[in-house]
Structure 1
Amino acid sequence: MNIEGDWLEQVALKVKRWPKVTIAAGRRHTVGLKSDGTVTAVGDNKYGQCDVSGWRDIVAVVASNVHMATNTGNAHTIGLKSDSTVAAVGWNTHDQCNVNDWRDIVAVAAGWRRTIGLKSDGTVVAVGRNNEGECNVSGWHDIVAVAAGDWHTIGLRLDGTVTAVGNNRYGQCNVSGWCDIVAVAAGYLHTIGLKSDGTVTAVGLNKHDQCDVSGWRGIVAIALGSNHTVGLKSDGTVAAVGWNEYGQRNVSDWRDIVAIAAGCAHTVGLKSDGTVVAVGDNEYGQCDVSGWRGIQLPDN
């Protein structure tokens, strides 16, 4: 019996159901992956986090999110290339962009001051800030997806269970009892899991009701901002709970959405025609995506 081959086949079958990350939202910027493998970005570029115009052969993008109270502009952007290597731009004070030597990567996640990479063998690598153990992932195995919050990191295992490392002050790492999970997302101080039946579970800080997802049904994708939670429904509509000071939850009229992303205080939706909509904080133009065209769809 080819154990490695069987395992990789199972991973491929499971991952095939999940959308590719073709739109990403950071603290003050938004990133989109085009169908031709190039990347576009709008918003704050103080640290060069939007300098992606030269990227080619990209298959997924992620952007680090920073809570407003944590820092005012630090951000970086990560691109996964078709050859399983990784590109990075932006703030690098903690070496979170030092990913040039990574190989055999199949998924990436970006947290505050760190970057996480998932390898094809189900192990995980990390670079960047590790003051609270948020990069202590070297012992992880059988992982099929990763997510990064401000100070905690989440790993989804092949068997549908979940593991976590890092800050757990508000119980955001209390995921050991979760099962039948098909996707995970991490916010500032909360964690969300999507179950195979389309329901959603949550742990962590709930000050703004960002964990009030127990009534959600028919969810196919999830995204987390600092203090708000967004769910994409199977009918192409979107649900949102949590902090709404900037209107980042005003998605009730969205239709024909195929992918979602959430920044600190803005929310982004990709439509089936490759165009993009956004609501929320737009101080740095991070919601100026109305002119985008040809953004890659999750199933392409």
Structure 2
Amino acid sequence: MGDLIAAGPRHSLGISADGTVVGAGAGSSGECRTTDWADVVDVAAGNVHTAPNTGRSHSVGLRSDGTVVATGWNNEGQCEVSDWQDVTAVAAGWRRTLGLRADGTVLAAGRLAEGAGDVSTWRKIVALACGDWHSVGLRADGAVVAVGNDRRGQCSVGGWSDMTAIAAGYLHTVGQTSAGRVLAVGDRTGGACDVEAWSDVVAVAAGSYHTVAVTTDGRALAVGGNAAGQCEVADWRDIVAVAAGSRHTLGLRADGSVVATGSDEHGQCDVAGWPPIGVG
């Protein structure tokens, strides 16, 4: 199963039980124009760390037939994915979209300047993550690869092994091990990499400056930047998945309802009225 919820700089996305996609938040770039999408099984939201109020973002959806749809900001071709086929997962970063194919190779569309789209040589990939300026891939053997901007060491994942999940923020990367521990590399000044004490983790997500996780008992954990309250998840229960945007966090409950915390300047946390997400 793909990601049922996604969080961008000032918008949120969720896949309802019938495969349509609901959105919340500003849509000045068209990133919430998803009402005509159908049979979607995975969703991703582009991110922009520097100025979330400018709204320039995009949204990507993977259909059950392996094709991909995209909407929103397309200044560097990040939405030009209509010819993609045999895709099994999607990820979205700043001006960039990645698609994982069934054969373990990876497609890229959009910005190439920082090298985050240099994924043509990747093989045996089973999961993807996009930071703003770097891309991360999880291999079938549990190793991790990364390309793009590495000025804070966010691509220093060469020694990682036994990983089952990955996530990428602005200047940091996190990985979940099969034992439920979490590793992090990159900028440590804001606390987003302070995950060493976490255990029994079953899912992770990375926002621009914060990191979120789900534990085996359905609790949510969060560390890092909390200027807008995006890390205030301690009272969440029955959580099965999380998504992290620039300054807000989403949590998907087992009953299909979604909770949100953090910046709601543009309505990105207005998810209470959503239909059940991923629950048939």
Specify the TM-score bucket, using the shorter chain as the normaliser.
Answer: over 0.9
Matching residue within 136, 156, 165 for 1:154: 136
Is 1:198 the counterpart of 2:205? The answer is: no
Query: What's the CA shift for 1:151?
Result: 0.3
| Matches of 1:151 and 1:72, distance apart in 2 | 18
Percent identity over paired residues: 56
TM-score (ref. length: structure 1)? 0.92
**Alignment partner, residue 67 of structure 2:** 85
Post-superposition CA distance 1:241-270 (Å, at most 9, x none) = 000000000000000111110000000001
Q: Contact between 1:109 and 1:148, CA under 8 Å: does it hold in 2? A: yes
Query: What's the CA shift for 1:68?
Result: 3.1
**Alignment partner, residue 261 of structure 1:** 243
| Matches of 1:60 and 1:125, distance apart in 2 | 16
> The residue matched to 2:229 in structure 1 has which SS?
coil
Question: What amino acid does structure 1 have at the position aligned with 2:232?
Answer: N
- Which aligned segments of 4 or more residues in structure 1 are displaced greater than 6 angstroms? none
Q: Contact between 1:76 and 1:97, CA under 8 Å: does it hold in 2? A: yes
| Matches of 2:28 and 2:275, distance apart in 1 | 25
Query: What's the CA shift for 1:103?
Result: 0.4
Q: CA RMSD in A?
A: 1.1
**Alignment partner, residue 296 of structure 1:** 278
Q: Contact between 2:3 and 2:43, CA under 8 Å: does it hold in 1? A: yes
**Alignment partner, residue 10 of structure 2:** 28
> Residues 276 and 71 of structure 1: is their aligned pair in 2 closer, same or farther, counting only changes over 3 Å?
closer
Question: What amino acid does structure 2 have at the position aligned with 1:112?
Answer: W
Query: What's the CA shift for 1:273?
Result: 1.1
**Alignment partner, residue 166 of structure 2:** 184
| Matches of 1:173 and 1:68, distance apart in 2 | 20
Q: Contact between 1:276 and 1:293, CA under 8 Å: does it hold in 2? A: no
| Matches of 1:70 and 1:126, distance apart in 2 | 23
Q: Which runs of 5+ in 1 are unaligned?
A: 1-18
Query: What's the CA shift for 1:208?
Result: 1.1
Query: What's the CA shift for 1:220?
Result: 0.2
> Residues 83 and 51 of structure 1: is their aligned pair in 2 closer, same or farther, counting only changes over 3 Å?
same
Q: Contact between 1:134 and 1:165, CA under 8 Å: does it hold in 2? A: yes
Question: What amino acid does structure 1 have at the position aligned with 2:211?
Answer: T
Is 1:129 the counterpart of 2:111? The answer is: yes
**Alignment partner, residue 217 of structure 1:** 199
Query: What's the CA shift for 1:74?
Result: 1.1
**Alignment partner, residue 42 of structure 2:** 60
| Matches of 1:82 and 1:45, distance apart in 2 | 25
Q: Contact between 1:232 and 1:257, CA under 8 Å: does it hold in 2? A: yes
Post-superposition CA distance 1:89-111 (Å, at most 9, x none) = 00000000000000000000000
Q: Which runs of 5+ in 2 are unaligned?
A: none
Is 1:165 the counterpart of 2:147? The answer is: yes
Is 1:113 the counterpart of 2:95? The answer is: yes
> The residue matched to 1:291 in structure 2 has which SS?
coil
Q: Contact between 2:9 and 2:52, CA under 8 Å: does it hold in 1? A: no
Is 1:145 the counterpart of 2:127? The answer is: yes
| Matches of 2:26 and 2:51, distance apart in 1 | 17
| Matches of 2:151 and 2:221, distance apart in 1 | 27
Query: What's the CA shift for 1:70?
Result: 7.9
| Matches of 1:223 and 1:141, distance apart in 2 | 23
> Residues 281 and 71 of structure 1: is their aligned pair in 2 closer, same or farther, counting only changes over 3 Å?
closer
Q: Contact between 2:52 and 2:246, CA under 8 Å: does it hold in 1? A: no
> Residues 71 and 167 of structure 1: is their aligned pair in 2 closer, same or farther, counting only changes over 3 Å?
farther
| Matches of 1:196 and 1:24, distance apart in 2 | 23
TM-score (ref. length: structure 2)? 0.98
